[in-house]
Chain A
Amino acid sequence: MSKTINLTLKVWRQANSRSEGRFATYPAPGIDTAMSFLEMLDVVNTTLERMGKDPIAFDHDCREGICGACGAVINGQTHGPQQGTTLCQLHMRQFEDGQTIVIEPWRAAAFPIIKDLVVDRTAFDGIIKAGGYISVKTGSAPDAHTIPVPKANADLAMDAAACIGCGACVAACPNASAMLFTAAKVSHLDLLPQGKAEGPRRVMSMVEQMDRAGFGNCSNEYECEAACPKEISVSHIARMNRAYRRAKFAGAP
């Protein structure tokens, strides 16, 4: 059953990418514990709007954990305290009455802040653009049953493909590395026979783009896996590293 709790929010406020940010404190009284975290922010924003104050900007869209738009660091944890959960699926029953909640945007050099909790994640699109696809033109595909794919591989590929591109892995990593994001796509396509043809070129190109965009290196902290709302395994990073070495020694372009 739901109850109401009183909270204090400390939220990162920053007008735009050029200005300096700071924490602002807001009371959040009478919060129903059946609310989602974003609904709690809606309620606080309505109060701010009614007072003529600028509401807290945050990215969100589907509010069912699949679009990957939302995300913030809650008391030091990406997407908050619940394992395998996006911010929109986090519910207020995870918090205690009287608690202070610190809310910050993703912090990474490759994700500049646009406003408050909204960051620019186009660097992720850049990595996909560098090779996160299979080059097949519309109309040129053979019948879907031409190539059987072992179920185990298809399932593993699906595990990797479940990535929602939210950026929590980068925000959680002490090096702001995008290895888990990149590896999930490399792994997904490498595990399928359709993706093999371009495999070496893809991994080289995506890893280079990842470095170019200003993401850090992987130092095996595994924070990304712990932070991932889709619980994507770091074993995909190992698979990508193997693919990268193979491609490098084979002299892929």
Chain B
Amino acid sequence: MLNANIPEGPIEQKWQNHKFKLKLVNPANKRKYHVIVVGTGLAGASAAATLAELGYGVTSFCIQDSPRRAHSISAQGGINAAKNYPNDGDSIFRLFYDTVKGGDFRSREANVYRLAEVSNEIIDQCVAQGVPFAREYGGYLDNRSFGGAQVARTFYARGQTGQQLLLGAYSALMKEVSRGAIRLMPRSELLDVVLLDGQAKGVVIRNLIDGTITSYAADAVVLATGGYANVFYLSTNAKACNVVATWRAHRKGAFFANPCYTQIHPTCIPVHGDYQSKLTLMSESLRNDGRVWVPKKKGDRRAPGAIPEDERDYYLERKYPSFGNLVPRDIASRSAKERCDQGYGVGSTGRAVYLDFADAIERLGRPVIEARYGNLFDMYKKIVDVDPYRESMQIYPALHYTMGGLWVDYNLMSNVPGLFVIGEANFSDHGANRLGASALMQGLADGYFILPYTIGGYLAEQAPLEASAVESAAFGTAQKKVEATIQKLLSIKGKRTVDDFHRELGRLLWDKCGMARSEAGLKEALEEIPKIRKEYWENVNVLGSEGEFNQVLERAGRVADFLEFAETLVIDALGRQESCGGHFREESQTPEGEALRDDEKYAYVAAWEFKGVGMKPKLHKEKLVFETVTPSQRSYK
């Protein structure tokens, strides 16, 4: 059993007590410690900025040309906090409770409580930084209710909340770069994590402009490198999102937890062609005013406007009268799949459902709808060439977020001492399903308010690293191995493109390990993945050379890691013979077709230890103990 180092005491006192007990680094000594932060999304940028403010030396790496472009920027809907400004009964406890329940009782209570506890400070911090949240005429902040919440606790900046929060964190980062406290290294990709005496003390980085490979040593390494949804090829993630950093840390000993917890977002623009490079999400805030429906008649090919009211099936409102269109993401997604599987789907492929605003426009008027969703409607029109003010949108679920990630304890430290993992890259707070507007909250909670404390507890017990550490053999070995892998990829000179393999892997995973998973399907996937991987290393064509700006080579390394990681994902899905949140096993459902958990057998975190490529990873378990919330069958009826 893994020990998560959860502090003693009542849940509402754990974090306060723990902060007091954590050892502190003397202010004068902080500058002697150096921290590497990889990734500049909400978690990475906020952590780097805050660590630098505290006095640590920080080096910040990102693969984009500027830290401002990290994928957090794409989040649309909002950020949750328990401010209870609308006076509708919200509280830290309610946000905690909703998050544990929404996660289908597969998250760690103590972490979730702490998340809810610091949520309010995040809003304060962002407002002080100048994040232009939506306001009411009185000048106070506006809140809306969002995906599965029965209180209005979501703060937002039009449909661009992620962008505004990231630009806030980026501005804090640049403030510290300006002070000389952060060294900023854009267009830099992590290719290995280096351990000295079993502790993470550095990284190997490839400069994406000229291909130079360099080692960097530090007293601690923080990974804030996001999720792995792109293992499915088609997802709503940005094209560069990848598993390389977390996978290479995993190969160095860090446990990968719950990789089968993947989130499918219900409101995305449906797939339209083979050339499709990514899927576009339409914020689920649309479900606040939009109504989801399919025709009552199978294969009804009439235009949506020509289908009268009484021939429409508003299936979410029918099945879940109390939550209606606002049921959590996993339920909304599966319901859409179920309707399409039954033959009620619409659009050219039959894999779409309608999202309709006619009622809302009539009730509220077009200006209100424009103010709330204008940019989303415009985006839809640009992509699909249909005006959603006049005709129902078509939507379908798509891969969006990954709850799994590297295993971390209460201090957000992995089982490898000195290796901290924050934001989407870790596994801890969302259980088997993340609630809407909680990713931004977790990223900033980890970066601004949690890691900067907990990392001090680790550093306080370490002597600062000698400057010569980077010359030690471990770095040389790691660098040689990275260079050899690159050479190998370049030397194959096969017949198929990198993307071709990526698409093949993605299709396989979507079919066998997507919205619904079965033992037979998962076993087929486990047969297929090693074959694709084998062919990849024999038949991929990676053009160009290592010492130049080479986007094919970048993608080749990422797909190589996806091909290893995919197997662990499927093994995890196969081992968990229950349905929970985003993980739906066909063998485990209620008579009504809802996810059926098995708390007796599976109330644990599955943390996998790497044992070699193609070898079965070793399972370590962290038992999930629910002291405060009693697990129950989720019901949104």
Taking CB atoms, residues of chain A closer than 8 Å to B275 are 32, 35, 39, 42-43
A34 close to chain B: CB less than 8 A? yes
A114 touches B132 (CB 8 A): no
Residues A139 and B121 in contact, CB atoms below 8 Å apart: yes
Query: Does chain B have a CB within 8 A of A81?
Result: no
Sample 9 A-B pairs with CB under 8 A, ordered by A number: A16-B549, A52-B543, A63-B238, A85-B382, A125-B67, A138-B449, A139-B125, A142-B128, A154-B139
Rounded to whole angstroms, the CA-CA distance of A129 and B60 in the bound complex is: 15
A120 CB-CB contact with B under 8 Å: yes
Residues of B within 8 A of A173 (CB): none
Q: B497 and A50: CB pair below 8 A?
A: yes
Structural contact, A67 and B135, CB atoms closer than 8 A:
no
Nearest-Cβ distance from residue A188 to partner chain B, whole angstroms: 7
Asked whether A122 is an interface residue with its Cβ less than 8 Å from the other chain, the reply is yes
B382 A150 Cβ-Cβ under 8 A? no
In whole angstroms, what is the CA distance A49 to B552 when docked? 9
Q: How far, in angstroms, from A39 to B275 measured CA to CA in the complex?
A: 7
For the residues of A in contact with B, the DSSP-based class is loop
Contact yes or no, B141 A144, CB < 8 A: yes
Using known A-B contacts A148-B140, A154-B135, determine if residue A188 contacts B130 with beta carbons closer than 8 Å.
yes
- Whether A107 is near chain B, meaning CB under 8 Å from some CB there, is no
> Do residues A141 and B124 form an inter-chain contact, with CB atoms below 8 A?
yes
Interface residues on A, range: 35 or more
- Bound-state CA distance A59–B277 (Å) is 14
Interface residues of B (CB under 8 A from A): 46, 49-50, 53, 64-69, 71, 73-74, 83, 85, 121, 123-130, 132-141, 157-158, 160, 162-164, 167, 170-172, 174-175, 177-178, 184, 186, 209, 238-240, 272-273, 275-278, 280-281, 378-379, 382-383, 385, 448-449, 452, 497, 499, 541, 543-544, 548-549, 551-552
Partner of A138, one of B50, B73, B239, B273: B50
Given A130-B178, A141-B127, 5 other A-B contacts at CB below 8 A? Answer: A54-B543, A61-B238, A122-B66, A125-B184, A161-B157
A39 to B239 alpha-carbon distance, docked (Å): 12
A133 touches B129 (CB 8 A): yes
* Complex Cα–Cα for A147 and B73 (A): 26
A162–B378 Cα distance when bound, in Å, is 15
Instruction: State A157–B177 Cα separation when bound (angstroms).
Output: 24
Q: Given A66-B160, A145-B140, decide whether A55 and B552 contact each other with a Cβ distance below 8 A.
A: yes
> Which B residues lie within 8 Å of A120 (CB)?
65
The one of A115, A141, A161 that contacts B121, using a Cβ cutoff of 8 Å: A141
A85-B69 Cα distance, complex, nearest whole Å = 17
Q: Given that A128-B174, A149-B139 are contacting pairs, would A122 and B186 also be in contact in the complex, using a CB cutoff of 8 Å?
A: yes
Q: A59-B65, A62-B74, A133-B175 are in contact. Are A141 and B125 (CB under 8 A)?
A: yes
Contact status of A135 and B175, CB under 8 A, knowing A141-B125, A144-B83? yes
Closest chain B residue to A166 by CB distance?
A: B69
Given A52-B543, A128-B174, the answer on whether A61 and B240 have CB atoms closer than 8 Å is yes
**B65 lies within 8 A of A121 (CB):** yes
By a CB distance below 8 angstroms, the chain B residues around A91 are: 382-383, 385
How far is A141 from B125 in the complex, measured between Cα atoms in Å?
A: 5
| Given contact pairs A65-B379, A132-B171, A161-B164, A57 touches B74 in the complex (Cβ within 8 A) | no
Within the complex, the shortest CB–CB distance from B143 to chain A, in Å, comes to 11
Complex formed: what's the CA distance from A131 to B175 in Å?
7
Q: A91-B385, A138-B53, A151-B137 are in contact. Are A38 and B277 (CB under 8 A)?
A: yes
Which residues, 17 to 44 on A, are CB-close (under 8 Å) to B? 32, 34-36, 38-39, 42-43
Measured between beta carbons, the chain A residues less than 8 angstroms from B129 are 133-134, 136, 141, 194
Q: CB distance B385 to A93 under 8 Å?
A: yes
Residue of B nearest to A121 (CB): B65
A168 within 8 A of B: no
A192 in contact (CB, < 8 A): yes
Residues of B within 8 A of A38 (CB): 277
Q: Is A64 an interface residue (CB 8 A)?
A: yes
Whether A60 touches B239, Cβ cut-off 8 Å, given contacts A39-B275, A145-B85, A194-B127, is: yes
B128 CB contact (under 8 Å) in A89, A124, A136, A164? A136
| Cross-chain contact of A89 among B71, B133, B136, B382 (Cβ < 8 A) | B382
B222 shortest CB reach to chain A, Å: 15
